[in-house]
Structure 1
């Protein structure tokens, strides 16, 4: 351990250390967290790395005032922290008190992002223990406002930004990410962020927030998650004119240019992380979302939450309701207001399940589903009710 820490202080990178002598390519697992038992109250995905000043600024391994006396000696933290020892539970109570003092949701969001950037394990403990209160803060609806103002509140980059400037070099960009064992990628091109429209590069808040939920609710290791924003420009005139906008100030690439760029991205992901990495498409516009699923559904492990995730939850709800109402899917007709990604995804899954149950061609079961243009409905509502 002493020689490892000496190498780090002498300027060697953690990534340059001999992986055979360490845990997961880092330094020695001094805390034993990779071999934790049920009796050890530790966060299972955390491994120790560098020491001293750099350790306190590494969000993945920083414990703040929770470092005990032995750890402070082993990691050269003496003098770099106040003398008091504070448990993770006490830090959690303090932070929740602070967050509850904020009246504006965006302030709570920024406080949580600041915490994630300096103490990852405490961030997830806070989120897991207070999920009902904090879920609307780190994700919808607050994340929508955060994306709208992302350029103004931007402090420290999270995830990977892959823009048209990197065309032909996407594989090199992926290799700049320090983690190699990526299992889940959430990627957006920012064209249809929630119901807010084209937010371009500022859509990064969505994959960051979604992957926080993968960890807090699904138990996926944070180091196995990678948020990515594909920046091909934006058609949002306000952002193009905004001096604080952090993305490319040009109109969106379309057609062949867009297709070739996404093809390079998908190929680079598979080459760098293997065939088993899950790529979740998030908040792409309708015309691209369905095309991407159709194009890469057989060659990559892909998933679209807006189309497939929402549809599976809604179908499960309908099937459960039928247990109380009686009858089958085929006994009902379904009317949708609008034909966005979620609506069409739900409609298609209902038709598929109906086809499976009745053995009828899907072309027939689709006839029981109606999608009405939301603008037409709005027009008639105005006529009828003023």
Structure 2
């Protein structure tokens, strides 16, 4: 600690507070005597005590709220706890628990976190940004709350997503938390139940659309560039009709990316790379059918296509290896209801009304669910895939768990254990006919924290599509043969920090090689990133 704060001011500053870990000398020096119980605890004891307290709570939402309070009280202990057992705590601070927290945001609201910028502050966005106490922000995760996970329009309740994502930036890849800012752009909500709720904390009108919305977002981007010139903006949980144009508008102008489009695509591609080590097939021989035709589906399909190009295939031919299926059926060229970003994947085919019939007609090697509609990967769907493929790729990526297209057990059981499986939300291990399977979670956490560390370490000026392909390859190459034998196609979340460092180093290498860095390349890139990474330890003032 370097500040001159004393007494209660220290105990109420989450960056300075060490709680019971303050030594007797520190307590005397900083006028803390009498403000704490006399016993002194190590950080390790504090972690054990906090873990025990969490274990006494009845459900994960209570644990989420407990951890939120801890983050607001003692940031070092919060991250030390998360990093001590990431596999246990990531599902609590992020998916699937964060979905319920967002739904109940207005009813469980406690301490504020992040920055709320309402559209009625147009013309003063820069002023609001400057209210944030940190002078150097490197990462903003921003949402307008319209498409939160698979739960829809949650208005300002969607703020839980940027908060959770940035916590994982730090816990999983060591991005220092003082450089991170969660932002909610409040343009209203079309969720009638929220507008009728007297506890709702956001603007009480329907969502602003069109030119006014675009101008507001544009003012925000400009204000960020002026206030925090080294800042990377991550777009999060915007509706498709805003997400795709926003990314297209700004990707070549500022350092920015959309995790729902590009991060989801990269983690899916990583799963495919690992799956092909099981099936012993080539990427360019694969055909994919997507259940869902939104920005996540087209983002995955486009990144797969670009990865195929790197293996020698023409881009148009590569795009024809993916097809989309939505509520109106297979996306074919004769349909008149397709958006521009969908039309590139519309195929020359007769209309097909059911997903099972689309499987039989197109004979995909893999199906990828991004529909946010549960149970659509039914027994006939899984069995049809198993009849066509010896090792079908089944990826129900919708989350939270309640929105998954199928469970791991259903996929393994209905395919006779032949499925290569990954899901968006976690599922427990499965026993099928004496065989033990460990289902992988295609969680964006393998991508976006590492991307953040790579950008932080290099001060990158842009985030390119190729960086996501590099990240996907770096994730997949860490999956061991032992894991593949159990069906696990992602690195274990218990070693997410080391996995993220590996991915970040690969991406940073690309940044330096392609002239996208603002800093000089260090002699030892990995050592440079590890030195820059946040470590949750108490520091003397």
TM-score, normalising length: structure 2: 0.60
Please state how far the C-alpha of 1:330 moved relative to its aligned partner: 2.5
Query: For residues 188 and 94 of structure 1, do their structure 2 counterparts lie closer, same or farther at Cα, with a shift above 3 Å needed?
Result: same
**1:328-365 CA distances to partner (integer Å, 9 max, x unpaired)?**
323222111111222111101111222332251x2332
**Separation in structure 2 between the aligned mates of residue 127 and residue 353 of structure 1, nearest angstrom:** 34
The residue number in structure 2 matching 1:234 is 189
The residue number in structure 1 matching 2:307 is 353
The residue number in structure 2 matching 1:364 is 317
Q: 2:240 aligns with which of 266, 282, 286?
A: 286
3-state SS of 1:358 partner: coil
Gaps of 5+ in 2: 330-353, 358-375, 381-541
Q: 1:184 aligns with which of 135, 139, 149?
A: 139
**Separation in structure 2 between the aligned mates of residue 150 and residue 378 of structure 1, nearest angstrom:** 36
Give the conservation status (yes or no) of the 8 Å contact 1:162–1:173: yes
3-state SS of 2:262 partner: helix
**Separation in structure 2 between the aligned mates of residue 109 and residue 359 of structure 1, nearest angstrom:** 46
Q: 2:74 aligns with which of 119, 130, 136?
A: 119
**Separation in structure 2 between the aligned mates of residue 283 and residue 242 of structure 1, nearest angstrom:** 22
3-state SS of 1:109 partner: helix
The residue number in structure 2 matching 1:140 is 95
**Separation in structure 1 between the aligned mates of residue 11 and residue 277 of structure 2, nearest angstrom:** 55
Map 1:317-332 → 2, pairs under 5 A: 317-332=271-286
Query: For residues 172 and 311 of structure 1, do their structure 2 counterparts lie closer, same or farther at Cα, with a shift above 3 Å needed?
Result: same
The residue number in structure 2 matching 1:58 is 13
Query: For residues 233 and 49 of structure 1, do their structure 2 counterparts lie closer, same or farther at Cα, with a shift above 3 Å needed?
Result: farther
Give the conservation status (yes or no) of the 8 Å contact 2:139–2:233: yes
Q: Is 1:246 aligned to 2:246, yes or no?
A: no
Determine which structure has greater relative contact order: mean sequence separation of CA pairs < 8 Å that are 6+ residues apart, divided by chain length: 2
Give the conservation status (yes or no) of the 8 Å contact 2:122–2:216: yes
**Separation in structure 1 between the aligned mates of residue 60 and residue 155 of structure 2, nearest angstrom:** 22
**Separation in structure 1 between the aligned mates of residue 65 and residue 253 of structure 2, nearest angstrom:** 38
The residue number in structure 1 matching 2:152 is 197
The residue number in structure 2 matching 1:343 is 297
3-state SS of 2:140 partner: strand
**Separation in structure 2 between the aligned mates of residue 319 and residue 111 of structure 1, nearest angstrom:** 38
Give the conservation status (yes or no) of the 8 Å contact 2:284–2:313: no
Query: For residues 369 and 378 of structure 1, do their structure 2 counterparts lie closer, same or farther at Cα, with a shift above 3 Å needed?
Result: closer
The residue number in structure 2 matching 1:16 is none
**Separation in structure 2 between the aligned mates of residue 277 and residue 248 of structure 1, nearest angstrom:** 27
Please state how far the C-alpha of 1:178 moved relative to its aligned partner: 0.3
Q: Is 1:88 aligned to 2:43, yes or no?
A: yes
Please state how far the C-alpha of 1:325 moved relative to its aligned partner: 3.2
3-state SS of 2:146 partner: coil
**Separation in structure 2 between the aligned mates of residue 54 and residue 262 of structure 1, nearest angstrom:** 36
3-state SS of 2:95 partner: coil
- Aligned residues, how many? 338
The residue number in structure 1 matching 2:176 is 221
Q: Is 1:272 aligned to 2:244, yes or no?
A: no
3-state SS of 2:311 partner: helix
Query: For residues 230 and 223 of structure 1, do their structure 2 counterparts lie closer, same or farther at Cα, with a shift above 3 Å needed?
Result: same
3-state SS of 2:129 partner: helix
Query: For residues 99 and 378 of structure 1, do their structure 2 counterparts lie closer, same or farther at Cα, with a shift above 3 Å needed?
Result: farther
Q: Which has the higher helix share?
A: 1
Q: 1:256 aligns with which of 199, 202, 211?
A: 211
The residue number in structure 2 matching 1:99 is 54
3-state SS of 1:151 partner: helix
Q: Which moved more, 1:83-92 or 1:206-215?
A: 83-92
3-state SS of 1:283 partner: coil
Give the conservation status (yes or no) of the 8 Å contact 2:260–2:296: yes
Give the conservation status (yes or no) of the 8 Å contact 2:155–2:202: yes
The residue number in structure 2 matching 1:311 is 265
Give the conservation status (yes or no) of the 8 Å contact 2:325–2:355: no
Give the conservation status (yes or no) of the 8 Å contact 1:293–1:304: yes
RMSD: 2.0
**1:127-154 CA distances to partner (integer Å, 9 max, x unpaired)?**
1102111111110011000000101111
Query: For residues 251 and 348 of structure 1, do their structure 2 counterparts lie closer, same or farther at Cα, with a shift above 3 Å needed?
Result: same
Q: Is 1:158 aligned to 2:130, yes or no?
A: no
